[in-house]
Amino acid sequence: MTYSTLLLETDADGIAVVTVNRPDKLNALNAQVFEDFTALLEVLRTDASIRAIIITGAGPKAFVAGADISELAEVDGHDGQRLSARGQAVFRALEHLRKPVIAAVNGFALGGGCELAMACHLRLAAPSAKFGQPEVKLGLIPGYGGTVRLPRLVGRGRALELLLTARVIDAEEALRIGLVERIVPAESLLEEARTVARTILTMGPRAVALCIATVDQALDLDLDAALAAEAAAFGEACASDDKREGTQAFLEKRPPAFTGH
Ligand code: COA
């Protein structure tokens, strides 16, 4: 399957690299990108040979420089709500994948680009990466989860400071406030993202999926309910072949051969 605004490249380890590919528009997210993403997500979700996903942007300048402003300029209140809900659903589906999703942020991650990176499970950034939610400059607010995920990642005060001032921050500051996990030289960004993905893929696949799901759930629940959800997921892990194999392999001093069951 081919997509007009996305590139999909899969390697022998089952790592898919998805590249948002509108470099002449700094990979801005237009309706076609969301249409392509919707179709691609179904492939990422259902194709068992794809085990981890890396998301990046085409060209040397941008990860994604935001929603496409030329489209936003034409949108009224009713369409705006629909547009927001559609983008949110796509990013939520990405976040809901029970396979690790890593953002390799290679440049501007503004507006929808920052929101896309935040919907990924992990974020690696090149030193040149720039992050921000500058929507207020346009008389807008983030519509793809920025007001929701940014405070969860960096805290309410820092989120509001970025949202209200439209300040764009560099990779160092993003690292300091917890918006990215690591800064990696630009030339090795993708390779490093692959290395992180490969590391995760050596772990018990059931456990990896359960970790992602349990953390996701925990953020929406009160402490006691979140702990109950963890106990249930722990029970599920304990019932798995992977746990039997993982613990047995440790005791027999051999590497585990996980099956994902
Ligand atoms: N939507 C639509 N087009 C965009 C875009 C966006 N979010 N971001 C960049 N582009 C386009 C520019 O219009 C330009 O197109 P053109 O060559 O046809 O004129 C092209 O991408 C290159 O961008 P340009 O502004 O010339 O690059 P720059 O290096 O001077 O500036 C940015 C880079 C990121 C600072 C600047 O493009 C920018 O501020 N973009 C908008 C960021 C934003 O507000 N995002 C949130 C949107 S809700």
> Would you write out the chain's pLDDT as a tens digit for each of its 261 residues?
789 999 999 999 999 999 999 999 999 999 999 999 999 999 999 999 999 999 999 999 999 999 999 999 999 999 999 999 999 999 999 999 999 999 999 999 999 999 999 999 999 999 999 999 999 999 999 999 999 999 999 999 999 999 999 999 999 999 999 999 999 999 999 999 999 999 999 999 999 999 999 999 999 999 999 999 999 999 999 999 999 999 999 999 999 999 999
135 is catalytic: yes
Concerning whether 181 is annotated as a catalytic residue, the answer is no
pLDDT of residue 186: 97
Q: Residue 136 C-alpha to ligand 1 middle, in angstroms? A: 15
Tell how far the Cα of 65 is from the centroid of ligand 1, in angstroms.
Answer: 6
Q: What pLDDT does residue 223 have?
A: 97
Q: Output the pLDDT for position 230.
A: 98
Handedness of CA 97, 98, 99, 105 (dihedral sign): positive
Pocket test for ligand 1, best of 69, 83, 115 (most atoms within 8 A of CB): 69
- In order of start, what are the domains of the chain with their CATH numbers? 6-201 (3.90.226.10), 205-251 (1.10.12.10)
Q: State if residue 108 touches ligand 1 by the CB under 6 angstroms criterion.
A: yes
Residue 141, pLDDT score? 98
Whose C-alpha lies nearest to ligand 1, atom 42?
65
Q: Whose CA is nearest to atom 16 of ligand 1?
A: 25
* Secondary structure of the chain in HEC code, one letter for each residue: CCCCCEEEEECCCCEEEEEECCHHHCCCECHHHHHHHHHHHHHHHHCCCCCEEEEEECCCCEEECCECHHHHCCCCHHHHHHHHHHHHHHHHHHHHCCCCEEEEECCEEECHHHHHHHHCCEEEECCCCEEECHHHHHCCCCCCCHHHHHHHHHCHHHHHHHHHHCCCEEHHHHHHHCCCCEECCHHHHHHHHHHHHHHHHCCCHHHHHHHHHHHHHHCCCCHHHHHHHHHHHHHHHHCCHHHHHHHHHHHCCCCCCCCCC
If you measure from the C-alpha of residue 190 to the centroid of ligand 1, how many angstroms do you get, rounded to a whole number? 24
As a whole number of angstroms, the distance between CA 115 and CA 36 comes to: 17
- Please name the residue whose Cα sits nearest to atom 7 of ligand 1: 66
Check residue 184 and give its pLDDT.
98
At 2 the pLDDT is 87
Report CA(68)–ligand 1 centroid distance (Å): 9
Tokens of 136: 């207020």
Reported pTM: 0.97
Contact 259, 244 (CB under 8 A): no
Which pLDDT does position 1 carry in this prediction?
76
Residue 68 Cβ < 6 Å to ligand 1: yes
Question: Which atom of ligand 1 is nearest to 135's Cα?
Answer: 48
Q: Which of 9, 35, 42, 135 is catalytic?
A: 135
Work out which ligand 1 atom sits closest to the CA atom of 62: 34
